[in-house]
Structure 1
Amino acid sequence: MPPESASPARLRAVGVSGDERTVEGPLRGYHHETYVVPLPAATGAVAAARWKCREPRSNLLWFDRRCFASEERLLPALHGRIDHVPDVFEFEGLHLQRFIEGRTLGTLYGAGRAVPPDLVRQIVRLFGQTAAVTSRALPVERVCRPEDRPADGDSDGFMERLVCFTQERVYAANQPEFGALFAELGLDDDAFTRLRKHVAGLRERPFCLLHADLHRENLVVDAERRLWTIDWELAMVGDPLYELATHLHLMRYPPWQRRQVAEGWRRAVEAARPGATHGWRQDLDLLLGYKRAQSVFTDVVREAVSLGRAARSPGVPVSLAAARLHGILSAAVLPLGLDAVPGPAEISAVLVRWGRTHADEEPPGTQ
């Protein structure tokens, strides 16, 4: 029997598997507490497969817009359209995702390292496959608001809604706790005015399905060198160039491979949806600028939360966080129109001051 202190998610996993000894986890992850379990043979599940049993974590900071009602309902609709996405199995009213046995791309080839050609080819193929999936061809419930669904091809409207989300749900919503921190780092409402000017004038491109979170930990290499795409929770419908910009921003390819992947994206997406790469060379830097700007607001909060009580006194953790934030702010000078960026020592002092004023608070995302 599981200990009395076991979390509800673990208790659920033990109940699903029927044997606590077969439960693995919790897996590393931010949004969910996840365990891997085999299912009893009598269920009819795929032989020898293991499945993810998970529960949303409570009290979390959410920085990403949700479009589809359920990842588990989206995945079955992708089968036959996109290679190597997890199966979904319904068991006692639960929708369980198949656990992909393998190693993440990040484990095999860390950030900054080149990705082998056979895996790059599969990433490029994925770009083409998602570009071929339109909202009309995807009978899955969407929960995003009507204003977050601009007309097909309205890339400017799509970007405006992303900027609005960052301003309203990341910046404004966190003002009560993090407003002083934002202000001391030179971040205010005017930064969003400047950001809108920076990204204005995007060319029209027909919309398609976007994974919207294609980084090295969401790509799993199995024993046969097949590349599986997991964690479709942030998938949306929108400008196909946003997929490339997000991917390049998150992957940290070496410069030569970054150019190679961008050209591969162009060929694959244009073949799948003629016209879907219109103006991509001119607009890619604008979308990358948005991604760098978005990172400023999300990472300021995340760094402050991750420091926790350590931010009350100077030390190595604060110095490392300050160095990271200095790099992130410096990268966003152009899209945010910042006049100056505080140095690492100044940012460290800002984090210490913020930590002292919030010493008695338990930061969100810690449970």
Structure 2
Amino acid sequence: MTPQVVSGTRRRAQQLGGDASVVKGPLKGYHHETYVLPMPGGTRIVKLREPRAEILWFDRRCFQSEEELLRALQGQISRIPEVLDVEGMGLQGFIEGRTVGQGLLRNGRVPDALLDQLLELFREMVRITPEMLGVKRRCMDKDRAEDGDSNAFLERLIAFSEEQVFERNHERFGGLFAELGLSGESFARLRKHVSGLQERPFCLLHGDLHRKNLIVDGQGQLWTIDWELAMLGDPLYDLATHLYLMRFPADQHRRVIRDWCRVVEHIRPGSSRGWEHDLPLILDFKRAQSVFTDVIRVSESLLRRDGKTLNWTGLPLAALKLQRVLVNAAEPLGLSETPSHSRIMGALVHWRPRAEFA
């Protein structure tokens, strides 16, 4: 029997916990290898996580350290993980509960009590302006949009997708992109489509508010985790990202928009300025952005563990997923037509030799 390989992250978790049997994990997650363990004495449960070396980053990160950001937000944002100092490391406290994606009705409705708490989270974030956070940032000053310049803010995100997702992965996925009708011109069309946004005062954004990052504890309190993609920018972008990821039923979608506008305008007038025109455009950006990341992720998911052999049984479903995202993003990307299901399957098969003999 082949001995099980223990990763360095798991070894560190076992050393901190003092007993391998108390370590749980790895938890599901794309970017990190994560373990949960109690501290000696059992007074706290923490998460030890480290970035996966082999993964691709598809989202721009603003802050140098999520833990530093969480420390700065204590007392300003309710119900976020605390950061504990353990042997020279800052470890996040583990929030026990269930995600908003668990135990809900199949139509995807979110209980009203949780929607109210989500709105309170937005209320707290819109209060936090760029000058209020003295947390080290990754990006250079020249790469930051001026406060209120929503057009420049979105342009930085488009540029990141173009340079760090499309161009950086073009050597391996360029042929597949081309067969699906995607090229460098797609970004020029996208820029034209989303131009003309209104100015809105910048604030703190979570950047990744989906069901798995929202935890409900035993008392029904909503906690927000995974602040790694947090940034400072256009508040309407955070609402658009939240709506795009949550997939609310139509009536809740409308309610969240209405109540969000009321909440942010009360705290910082102008935060929802022009939302009727701009929100659909930012949602179109999210749809377009997901095309390039989904092409890479879906095609990579077709490879077996050896990283070379194609999983043929998964091919039809993978092609269906890509067909859906291409149809949804056809307008902002200026696609005159979207490839058929069979054509997408063919494109994935053509891409296979590049994967197998790279």
TM-score by length of 1: 0.93
User: Take 2:106 and 2:242, find their aligned partners in 1: how far apart are those partners?
Assistant: 12
Question: Higher mean Cα deviation, 179-188 or 134-143?
Answer: 134-143
Gaps of 5+ in 2: none
Name the structure 2 match of 1:33. Answer: 33
Does the 8 Å CA contact 1:52/1:99 hold for their aligned counterparts?
Answer: yes
Query: Is residue 2:357 matched to residue 1:356?
Result: no
Deviations 1:154-182 (A, max 9, x none): 00000111110010000000000000000
The residue type equivalent to 2:63 in the other structure is F
Equivalent positions of 1:259-270 (< 5 A) are 259-270=254-265
Structure 1 307/71 Cα, relative in aligned 2: closer, same or farther at 3 Å?
same
Name the structure 2 match of 1:61. Answer: 56
The residue type equivalent to 1:195 in the other structure is L
Does the 8 Å CA contact 2:308/2:357 hold for their aligned counterparts?
Answer: no
User: Take 2:263 and 2:303, find their aligned partners in 1: how far apart are those partners?
Assistant: 44
The residue type equivalent to 2:242 in the other structure is H
Return the offset for 1:312: 6.0
Structure 1 254/266 Cα, relative in aligned 2: closer, same or farther at 3 Å?
same
Structure 1 229/62 Cα, relative in aligned 2: closer, same or farther at 3 Å?
same
User: Take 2:319 and 2:308, find their aligned partners in 1: how far apart are those partners?
Assistant: 11
Name the structure 2 match of 1:323. Answer: 320
Name the structure 2 match of 1:11. Answer: 11
Q: Determine which of 109, 112, 116 is the counterpart of 1:117.
A: 112
Does the 8 Å CA contact 1:131/1:269 hold for their aligned counterparts?
Answer: yes
User: Take 2:234 and 2:73, find their aligned partners in 1: how far apart are those partners?
Assistant: 19
User: Take 1:277 and 1:337, find their aligned partners in 2: how far apart are those partners?
Assistant: 27
Q: Secondary structure at the match of 1:308?
A: coil
The residue type equivalent to 1:178 in the other structure is F
Return the offset for 1:287: 0.2
The residue type equivalent to 2:341 in the other structure is P
Equivalenced residues, count: 354
Structure 1 314/50 Cα, relative in aligned 2: closer, same or farther at 3 Å?
closer
Name the structure 1 match of 2:201. Answer: 206
Name the structure 2 match of 1:130. Answer: 125
User: Take 1:313 and 1:244, find their aligned partners in 2: how far apart are those partners?
Assistant: 38
User: Take 1:214 and 1:188, find their aligned partners in 2: how far apart are those partners?
Assistant: 29
Equivalent positions of 1:292-331 (< 5 A) are 292-309=287-304, 315-331=312-328
Does the 8 Å CA contact 2:172/2:354 hold for their aligned counterparts?
Answer: no
Does the 8 Å CA contact 1:311/1:352 hold for their aligned counterparts?
Answer: no
Deviations 1:214-272 (A, max 9, x none): 00000001000111000000000000000000001101111111111111111111112
Question: Higher mean Cα deviation, 166-175 or 138-147?
Answer: 138-147
User: Take 2:179 and 2:13, find their aligned partners in 1: how far apart are those partners?
Assistant: 45
Query: Is residue 2:244 matched to residue 1:244?
Result: no
Q: Secondary structure at the match of 2:34?
A: strand
User: Take 2:308 and 2:190, find their aligned partners in 1: how far apart are those partners?
Assistant: 30
Name the structure 1 match of 2:253. Answer: 258
Question: Higher mean Cα deviation, 100-109 or 169-178?
Answer: 100-109
Query: Is residue 2:329 matched to residue 1:332?
Result: yes
Return the offset for 1:4: 7.4
Root-mean-square deviation over aligned CA pairs: 1.6
User: Take 1:352 and 1:252, find their aligned partners in 2: how far apart are those partners?
Assistant: 31
Return the offset for 1:206: 0.2
Does the 8 Å CA contact 2:108/2:249 hold for their aligned counterparts?
Answer: yes
Does the 8 Å CA contact 1:312/1:352 hold for their aligned counterparts?
Answer: no
Query: Is residue 2:147 matched to residue 1:152?
Result: yes
Return the offset for 1:187: 0.2
User: Take 1:131 and 1:155, find their aligned partners in 2: how far apart are those partners?
Assistant: 15
Gaps of 5+ in 1: 42-46, 362-367
Query: Is residue 2:158 matched to residue 1:163?
Result: yes
Return the offset for 1:110: 7.2
